[in-house]
Amino acid sequence: MKIMVTGGAGFIGSAVVRRIIEHTEHTVINLDKLTYAGNLESVAEVSHSPRYSFIKADIADRDTVQAAFEQHRPDCIMHLAAESHVDRSIAGSAEFIQTNIVGTFQLLEVAREYWRGLDSQAKAAFKFHHISTDEVFGDLTEEGDLFTEATRYDPHSPYSASKASADHLVRAWHHTYGLPVLVTHCSNNYGPYQFPEKLIPLTITQALADKPLPVYGQGQNIRDWLYVDDHARALLTVLQQGKSGDTFNIGGHNEVRNIDVVTTICDLLQEMRPLSGGRHYRQLITYVQDRPGHDYRYAIDAEKIHRELGWMPQETFETGLRKTVQWYLDHPHWVDHVRDGSYRNIQ
């Protein structure tokens, strides 16, 4: 297949691109705007493959996206392009509305027009796979509750509201126009190549720089953690086996309090690269004012994708986090290029 991946230079998108090139015979068209979170160094190891091509484009720019469709004639779309950081959406929501809602609309319209013009065989095989988040479901307050595919939407941040809007658009284009779509909701991703604004890479990079490790409130908020390579494998499984109109939740079965995430990273770093002078990385932990409207708990019920498609995460939180910490230790130049901004010079 020819798979167009939007946002393929981002954290999850680049994991998908790498997995397609390294583990399948499919071709990838990576379409990315290269915002601050887009980093072509994250796909450098596969960028020389004859099955890989890159287009710098904004999904909200309909003419450019349409030209990319006409040039490359994709068999399916994996739509990961999005503004994704809750804190940034609170500070300034306009980019989230533009990319996540308007951009998804433009992409859907181009895809619909393109799909309508395909021959019957290609039309039947075409899929528009929209990758969403568990944050559209809001907050879990009852112990033991899990988000299922039927959970009512209740977004609480500008980010999650924009993603919920995009989800509704995708399903509306399926029900109204017949566009064959798939929707997946994932829990919190972590792993190599993650931009260090998120909790895990921020904690690792701050600790290695001997800087304070900020923890919101008392660190009691709970997230379900999913190793990014497990997620990439799940997304390809859904793309290849899912039926039009399907929705799947993808989770790692790893509920952990934020403070426990941070202390575990501190302990791993102390083991792998101990601080001198008898100090411990835990001494760098600093509690800061909580995020406005901070959801208490997210947790995914991933039984459907296991039951229907046979997918299960391969990494536990312990094995995945150890791999992640080791990757950041082994790739200081990637971190340095993100910190000094030089990764933005790669086109």
The set of catalytic residues is: 134-135, 159
Q: How many Cβ atoms from other residues are within 10 Å of residue 288's Cβ?
A: 11
Q: Tell me which residue has tokens 């499919």.
A: 26
User: Secondary structure of the chain: what % helix, strand, coil (to 5)?
Assistant: 45, 15, 35
Instruction: Compute the distance between CA of residue 258 and CA of residue 140 in angstroms, rounded to an integer.
Output: 15
Instruction: Compute the distance between CA of residue 44 and CA of residue 311 in angstroms, rounded to an integer.
Output: 28
Which 8-state DSSP code applies to residue 17?
H
Half-sphere exposure of 187 (CA within 13 A, CB side): 27
> Reduced to 3 states, what is the DSSP secondary structure of residue 82?
coil
Q: Residue 104's Cα: distance from chain center in Å? A: 16
Instruction: Compute the distance between CA of residue 218 and CA of residue 262 in angstroms, rounded to an integer.
Output: 12
Are the beta carbons of 313 and 227 closer than 8 angstroms?
yes
What stretch of H or E contains 128? Answer: strand 127-133
